[in-house]
Structure 1
Amino acid sequence: MAIAVVSFFSGTRLYRNQKPGGSPLTRIAQVLVASVRKWQVQVPEDKSFLYELTDKESAIEGSRKLKHSNQFKFLDKACVETQDDKDVGPANAWRLCTVTQVEELKSIVRLLPIWASGIVFSTVYSQMSTMFVLQGNTLNPHIGPHFKIPAASLSIFYTLSVIMWVPIYDRILVPVVRSITGRERGFTQLTRMGIGLVISIFAMLAAGFLEIVRLHIIHRDNLYDSTDYIPISIFWQIPQYFLIGAAEVFTFIGQLEFFYDQAPDAMRSMCSALSLTTNALGNYLSTLLVTIVTHITTKNGKLGWIPDNLNRGHLDYFYWLLAILSVINFLVYLLISNWYTYKKTEDDFEDDMGNGAGKD
Structure 2
Amino acid sequence: MTDEDIYTGDGSVTLDNERAVKSKTGNWRACPFILGNECCERLAYYGMSTNLVNYLEDRLNQGNVRASTNVSNWSGTCYATPLLGAFIADAYLGRYWTIACFSIIYFFGMTLLTLSACVKGLEPRCDDDGCHPTSTQTTVTFVALYLIALGTGGIKPCVSSFGADQFDETDVKERKRKSSFFNWFYLSINVGALFASSILVWIQMNVGWGWGFGVPAVAMAIAVAFFFSGSPLYRIQKPSGSPLVRLCQVVVASFRKYNVKVPRDESLLYETSDSESQIVGSRKLEHTDKFRFLDKAAVETESDRRKSTSNPWKLCTVTQVEELKSIIRVLPIWASGIIFAAVYSQMSTMFVLQGNTMDQHIGPNFKIPSASLSIFDTISVIFWTPVYERIIIPIARKRTHHERGFTTLQRMGIGLVISLFAMMAAATLEVVRLDYVRKQNLYDEETIPMSIFWQVPQYFLIGCAEVFTFIGQLEFFYDQAPDAMRSLCSALSLTTIALGNYLSTVLVTVVAKVTTKDGKAGWIANNLNEGHLDYFYGLLAVLSLVNLLVYVGIAKWYTYKKVSVYPS
Structure-2-length-normalised TM-score: 0.56
Partner Cα separation in structure 1 for residue 401 and residue 276 of structure 2: 32
1:254 aligns with 2:445: no
TM alignment of 1:1-360, pairs within 5 A: 22-55=241-274, 58-227=277-446, 229-347=447-565
Give the whole-Å Cα distance in 2 for the aligned partners of 1:93 and 1:161: 50
Q: Quick one: distance in 1 between partners of 2:523 and 2:542?
A: 16
**Deviation digits for residues 229-253 of structure 1 (CA, Å, limit 9, x no counterpart):** 2221100000001111111111111
Alpha-carbon deviation of 1:94? 0.5
Q: Which has the larger radius of gyration?
A: 1
Cα distance in 1 for partners of 2:543, 2:474 equals 23
- The SS at the match of 2:419 is helix
Deviations 1:10-50 (A, max 9, x none): xxxxxxxxxxx841111001101101111111111221111
Aligned partners of 1:58 and 1:64 also within 8 Å: no
Opposite residue 254 of structure 2, the aligned amino acid is S
Cα offset for 1:164? Answer: 0.4
- 1:313/1:268 Cα in 2 relative to 1: closer, same or farther (>3 Å)? same
SS of the aligned residue for 2:289 comes to coil
**Residue 55 (structure 1) shift:** 3.9
CA contact (8 A) 2:241 2:279 kept: no
Q: How big is the shift at 1:157?
A: 0.8
Name the residue aligned to 1:353: none
Structure 2 segments unaligned to the other structure (5+ residues): 1-90, 92-239
Partner of 1:3: none
Tell me by how many angstroms 1:285 deviates.
Answer: 0.9
Task: Summarize deviations over 1:61-96 as a string: whole Å, max 9, x none.
Answer: 211111110111111110011111112331000000
Cα deviation code 1:215-242 (max 9, x no counterpart): 1111111112223x22211000000011
Paired residue secondary structure (1:184): coil
**Preserved CA contact (<8 Å) 2:360 2:370:** yes
* 1:123–1:283 CA contact under 8 A, matched in 2: yes
1:301, CA displacement in angstroms?
3.5
Distance 1:240 1:87, change over 3 A: same
The CA distance in 2 between the partners of 1:253 and 1:56, in whole Å, is 36
The answer to whether the 8 A contact 1:57-1:65 is kept is no
Secondary structure (helix, strand or coil) at the match of 2:402 reads: coil
Aligned counterparts of 2:501 and 2:248: Cα–Cα separation in 1: 30
Instruction: State the TM-score, normalized to the length of structure 1.
Output: 0.88
- Return the offset for 1:150: 0.9
Tell me the SS of whatever aligns to 2:449: strand
2:271 and 2:318 in contact (8 A); partners too: yes
Amino acid of the structure 2 residue aligned with 1:102: V
For the residues of structure 2 that align with 1:57 and 1:184, how far apart are their CA atoms? 34
| Deviations, residues 125-170 of structure 1 (Å, cap 9, x unaligned) | 1100100011101111111111111101111111111100100100
In 2: Cα distance, 1:46 partner to 1:223 partner: 75
Q: How high is the sequence identity, in percent, across the aligned residues?
A: 69
Please give the secondary structure, in 2, of the residue aligned with 1:39.
coil
- What are the Cα deviations for residues 188-239 of structure 1, in whole angstroms up to 9, with x where unaligned? 1000000111111111001000000001111111112223x22211000000
- How many residues are treated as equivalent by the alignment? 328
Give the counterpart letter for 2:358 in structure 1. Answer: L
Specify the code of the residue in structure 1 equivalent to 2:332: P
For the 8 Å contact 1:59–1:98, the answer to whether it is kept is no
Q: Measure the CA separation in 1 of the matches of 2:354 and 2:275.
A: 60
CA distance in 2 between partners of 1:60 and 1:100 (Å): 9
CA 1:206/1:57 → structure 2, altered by over 3 Å: closer, same or farther?
farther
* Separation in 1, partners of 2:390, 2:520: 52
Q: How far apart, CA to CA, are the structure 1 residues paired with 2:479 and 2:530?
A: 49
Work out the CA distance in 1 between the residues paired with 2:361 and 2:284.
62
CA distance in structure 2 between the aligned counterparts of 1:286 and 1:273, rounded to whole angstroms? 20
Q: Is the 8 A contact 1:162 1:246 kept in 2?
A: yes
208-217 or 54-63, larger mean C-alpha shift: 54-63
Question: 1:299: Cα distance to partner?
Answer: 3.2
- Alpha-carbon distance, 1:58 to partner: 4.4
CA shift, 1:275, in A, is: 1.2
Write the distance in 2 (CA, Å) between the matches of 1:307 and 1:169. Answer: 40
Amino acid at match of 1:83: E
Paired with 1:226 and 1:254, the residues of 2 have a C-alpha distance of 43
Give the RMSD, CA atoms, in angstroms: 1.6
Distance 1:117 1:344, change over 3 A: same
Distance in 1 separating the partners of 2:498 and 2:398: 38
Cα distance in 2 for residues equivalent to 1:318 and 1:35: 46
When residues 309 and 95 of structure 1 are mapped into structure 2, their CA distance, relative to the original with a 3 A threshold, is same
